[in-house]
A and B are shown apart, each in its own frame.
Chain A
Amino acid sequence: MSRATHRLRHLPWSSAVLWTVLVVLIVAPVTTFLLCAVSPRLFSLGPQWFTLSSFSAAFQGHTLEGIINSLWVSTTVATLAVVIGTTLAWLVHRTNLFGAKVIGASLWLLLLIPTWMTTVGWINVVQPGELLSAFGLNTVGLSDWFFGAPGVIIILTTAALPFSYLIISAGLRGLGSEFEDAARVHGAGMRRALTTVLPIIAPALLGAFAISFAEAISDFGVAFTISQGHQAFPLATFTLFGAIYQQPSNFSVAAVIAMVLIVATIPPIFFQQRLMRGRSYAVLSARTRPVRRLQLRPLPRAIVSISTATFVALLVGIPLSGAVASSFTSTVSFYTTTGIHWTLDSYRGVFNPPPAYGGSLSGPLWTSSQLGFYVALATLVLAVAMARRMTVPNPGRSQRVADVFLLGAVAIPGIVLAAGYILFFNQAFLTHHLVDLYETTPLVVMGLVAASIPGQTRLLMAPVAQVHAGLGHAARVHGAGRWRTWRTTTLPLLSRTLVWAWAITFTKTLAELAIVELLYVPGHEPASVQIENYLGSVHGAVGAAATVLLLLEMLAVIGLSLGLFRVLAPRGWRRIGQVGAMA
């Protein structure tokens, strides 16, 4: 065998294919966008081939203020999300809390709702003339307080909490109660037992912090909707948006802000890697025992259950009630000078809209559903492959690079990804000589997959990491090939988690706005774009009705997915496919 043939045979093909896909989907478009910061002439944006002037423009005044605000707000949000997420996960999975399943399901519901929807829901409650005003409350002071840093932190924590909860829940579920028991046997009290056990799920805690930070710092929905009311509280994502949407677009300054957002995610991930270096956190194996729950006495159980239920009900209920209430009126404000005007006109308007809105919502909903199906499928395949690579027992440089890359990618705002897609995939050298993908469905799907992979990989890493390598080794020893090993050990264990991951990607795609707004195929408007058009006009109530219907479709998709899993999956899969199952 020649040396060249030997090298070729030993090339890590799977790794090469995976990285090629990631380069095409994420690295190339985002790098192209970031190049605007230093080389405006490359894109006919200015005369210089190389300049750093955009950096000085970005690090001053309002833009600098936005960057500083984003950093401290995201750190606060990530800390709150981990603390609250850990508490909720422990209560739900390790105690005899009343309604634990409902709490878990409610957090899933929160995960489905995009931040722009949550924010609009909160506005529909606290803004003067909205829901609280109808109860006779003067909300002018509350509204002034809310439309600044407090509101941003509350809503971003609400958005980050499900990620944190799910990742920590997966860590706790794989952790048998023998660890707590061992600590208690050696004389540890409740607090000491917890401080002994929590470090064992350090990967989950640190992962939850990192993803909450990245999600918060890249969030656009809240920044756009709340932080620029009449009380200005700028965030980096808002100034980035302003730079892109101003006339003419200032891609150079926007690229610098995007760089800051991406680089800001590196410290949390380095901290995580440093802490985990040389340690193994695999806890799930063939010998993992079922968890024994802490039996709270009746009174504490009732108090804790009511407090937890109230807290979660407020988080989920406030934005939902705002959106639902507004959808049953046809006025700009819910509570007007002439009272509340209850009507079903807004729902009629969704399917029989004013002539200005072209057609009914059913066409856009169908387009969004089709996009969701393909995006969820492609994301699932890639995210599982990435999660497997990221969770090998002895991670090398490739895994560490991928780890930083994935978290950095979570922090890329959708609008940057979308603009990067136009700048890269619409380059004349590509469209004239290779392939013209711009304004086609495949490019929209690619953009949405690129946005979904980082988050989904992070969510899947904890469940995948818990499948002990020994299971696979045993199968291989008994003669199973790679595919059969995966199909008969990992797949059954992860089956329910994978169904959830598919469903969550589908539903999040339904509501995605920043990417589809710039990339959608002309004549095939997705639902989120049409709803945004309604919400920004005097037909806001029709937008609220359309939002409610979109939420209902999301829930229906989740129900259908789980129903199909029950019908189609073998009984054994349903029994054991619970690793990291997210409900």
Chain B
Amino acid sequence: MPTTNPPKFTATSRMAAAALGAALVATSASFATAGAATVRPHSSVTLELYSAQGYDSYVVNAFNKANPGINVVLTDGSTGPLLTKIAAEQASHSPKWNLMWADGSTWAAAFDTSGWSQKSIIPKGTAYDAMGLANKPADGAFAPTGVTVTGGLCYDKVAVANNHVALPTTWAGLTKVPKGSLGMNNPSFSGPTFPLIASVMAHLGGISSTKNPTAAQVKTAIAKGEAFFQTLKNNGLQVHHTNGPTLGAMESNPATLDMATIQTSACYGDIAGGYWPSGAVKYLDYSAELPSSIAISKDVSKAQLAAAEKFVAFVLSVNGQQTMQKGDPTGDGLFWPVISKVTPESGVPAFSSTKAFAINPYVWGPQQNGIDTWFTNNIA
């Protein structure tokens, strides 16, 4: 029955309320100051690093420890959300990002052509090896920091033996594998998949990374690539979002995939981590180089630019590359270093065995939206 009498609070409830209130005030004070203290300290240069690398937090901790005057604050996430964040910041005419670090170089080339990033950020004297040099842009608008390979063939040895599947030796041979046995990722969700599709198209169209193709040549290459993927689709190609579900489909019991063409470092990670003892990797007649890249925002202060260049220099040093390897030893750390005198982690084969080649991100980057949309509409 409703009443209008004043409520009767007991002495216990008053004491409990007072204790709760005091606790909340204390919590509020710490919460209100927490973000500001981390993001904007007064005594050092603060850099906001947006990164999708598995080893990023480990590298940032090592760098901050070695450089007390610089405070790199990490925003860790997947490539898609981070690029969206940056696009929204740029659209609001007040970018907050200072450094962006992720797999691929097409996004970095797009930053360059949009005028969002600094040029000439690669320190003089950087001891790039052949892979680093192959992926280094002429204007130095981004720095390749490592290379992985996408488009190798990951497969389950037990499933392949049980199903009497003869593994192909060429990409063309993938069109003849048993129906429904092959899988790959969707480029709309999986960052490394667009470079793979672009590499197939470049290979079929005869466009090397150093060539400046005409629009007609690119169009022809895309048409040949679309026809190839359509053939795979007609043969039961299964498309999952990302490496995780694709690997899961091969590692499950019963396996719904015998083999998949994905980023091989993910396969090495599962095998090295003991998650997939019957897993193996085979390289076909070619595969795609997938450099990881780092770029610096054009809207940084002088002090931030100097600090950001120092961070890039650290990443491109022997110590920096080894720190990256240690930061994610069963995942992203399984890359081929781009700096001389740094060797890959054990379990990673010689780069020459992958027969990987680089694509020109300035040629293929602008094609990404069209190709991704076509793939989602017709293949996924």
Contacts and interface: CB of A to CB of B under 8 A. Distances in A.
Interface of A: 36, 43-45, 61-62, 127-130, 133, 138, 140, 143, 228-230, 232, 242, 244-251, 286, 330-333, 335-339, 354-359, 370, 373-374, 419, 422-424, 426-428, 431-432, 438-441, 471, 474-475, 478, 480, 488-489, 492-493, 517-518, 520-525, 529, 532-533, 535-538, 540, 564, 567-573, 576
A337 B248 CA distance: 11
B96 to A, nearest CB: 6
B292 to A, nearest CB: 14
Given A44-B91, A245-B188, A567-B12, A518 B39 contact: no
Contact of A426 (B2, B89, B328): B89
B252 A62 contact: no
A492 B107 CA distance: 57
Interface of B: 1-10, 12-13, 16-17, 20, 24, 27-28, 31-32, 34-36, 38-39, 48, 54-55, 57-58, 73-78, 80-81, 83-85, 87-94, 96, 106-107, 110, 114, 156, 158-159, 183, 186, 188-189, 238-245, 247-249, 251-256, 266, 269-270, 273, 275-278, 326-333, 365, 368-369, 372-373, 376-377, 380
Contacts of A492: 2-3, 7
Given A230-B238, A333-B251, A354-B328, A538 B269 contact: yes
A356 B89 contact: no
Quick one: which of A45, A229, A246, A247 has the most chain B CB within 10 A? A247
Given A538-B244, A573-B7, A518 B84 contact: yes
Contacts of A428: 92-94
The 10 closest A-B pairs by CB, nearest first: A129-B252, A358-B57, A356-B328, A333-B252, A422-B88, A570-B7, A245-B80, A43-B91, A356-B54, A249-B87
Name the residue in A230, A357, A428, A521 with the highest tally of chain B Cβ atoms < 10 Å from its Cβ: A230
A74 to B, nearest CB: 22
B39 A439 contact: yes
A136 to B, nearest CB: 10
Contact of B83 (A61, A249, A523, A529): A249
B252 A567 contact: no
A562 to B, nearest CB: 14
23 contacts: A62-B377, A128-B256, A130-B252, A133-B252, A140-B256, A228-B186, A245-B83, A246-B188, A247-B365, A333-B248, A337-B159, A359-B57, A373-B24, A428-B94, A440-B39, A474-B4, A489-B2, A522-B75, A523-B74, A533-B78, A536-B78, A536-B244, A568-B13
B329 A431 contact: no
Contacts of A525: 76
B27 A572 contact: no
A336 B77 contact: no
Nearest to B107: A247
B159 to A, nearest CB: 7
Nearest to B270: A538
A62 B188 CA distance: 13
A313 B148 CA distance: 46
Contacts of B244: 332, 535-538, 540
Contacts of A522: 38-39, 48, 73-75
A336 B251 contact: yes
A521 B93 CA distance: 20
B376 A242 contact: yes
A355 B377 contact: no
A529 B80 contact: no
Contacts of B186: 228
Contacts of B88: 249, 251, 419, 422-423, 426, 518
Given A45-B91, A332-B252, A332-B275, 11 more contacts: A43-B92, A129-B248, A248-B87, A249-B88, A332-B270, A422-B85, A422-B88, A438-B89, A533-B76, A540-B244, A568-B9
Residue from A130, A428, A474, A524 having most chain B Cβ neighbours under 10 A: A524
Contacts of A572: 3, 5, 7-8
Contacts of B6: 488
A108 B245 CA distance: 31
Given A133-B254, A228-B380, A423-B91, A521 B16 contact: no
Given A540-B244, A572-B5, A44 B238 contact: no
Contacts of A133: 252-254
A245 B76 contact: no
| B20, B248, B327: most-surrounded residue (chain A CB, <10 A) | B248
Contacts of B75: 520, 522
A362 to B, nearest CB: 15
A138 B239 CA distance: 20
A127 B58 CA distance: 34
Given A522-B75, A523-B38, A570 B54 contact: no
B253 A129 contact: yes
Contacts of B93: 44, 427-428
Contacts of B242: 536
B58 A529 contact: no
Contacts of A36: 91
B275 A129 contact: no
A438 B96 contact: yes
A138 B12 contact: no
Contacts of B110: 247-248
A568 B17 CA distance: 7
A244 B73 CA distance: 25
A44 B4 CA distance: 59
Nearest to A331: B275
B251 A355 contact: no
B255 A538 contact: no
A489 B5 CA distance: 9
Nearest to A569: B13
B7 A440 contact: no
